[in-house]
Amino acid sequence: MLSQITPKQKTSFADVDKLKEQLESKEDRIHEWRQKIDDEQKQLERENEDHNDIFFVDVVDFYRNIPTKLLKYLSRSSDFLQKKKKEKKRKKNDPKRKQHRKERLFLKCVMHAIPPPPERGNNAR
């Protein structure tokens, strides 16, 4: 890289050895950075598998992409809500749930059919 500097360019470096070392370690630093990004991505995916509360958008995160991110979020939210609605409907029609509901209703009726015990107080005989 240093040999690419033309004689017309006047450039000086305070510490040439440090610059050479930095240039030589570039590939290693890129590899370390990519490894770190991959590790973070795997952690996020595991977190999402556990809690399903992370929304991934395949765009670079900067100001110009805000509308794209918003549209993708709204689309995903709509899909999510439709799935939840279907799931709720399926649970509502579950025979076990209906049986449990009947049992609760029966207990409620029984509890209201039994008169409360008489109050004890000064007027009690």
Q: Over pLDDT 70: what percentage of the chain?
A: 66
When comparing pLDDT for 53 and 63, which is higher?
63
Contact between 55 and 76 under an 8 Å Cβ cutoff? The reply is yes
Q: What is the pLDDT of residue 24?
A: 92
When comparing pLDDT for 59 and 29, which is higher?
29
Q: What is the pLDDT of residue 105?
A: 64
Q: In whole angstroms, what is the distance from residue 13 CA to residue 4 CA?
A: 15
pLDDT tens sequence across 74-112: 888 888 888 888 888 877 777 776 666 666 666 666 656
Q: Is the pTM of this model over 0.75?
A: no
Instruction: Enumerate the domain spans of the chain.
Output: 14-54, 57-114
pLDDT tens sequence across 7-27: 666 667 778 888 888 889 999
SS (H, E, C) 1-46: CHHHCCCCCCCCCCCHHHHHHHHHCHHHHHHHHHHHHHHHHHHHHH
Q: In whole angstroms, what is the distance from residue 56 CA to residue 48 CA?
A: 10
Secondary structure class of 108 (helix, strand, coil)? helix
Q: What is the pLDDT of residue 104?
A: 67
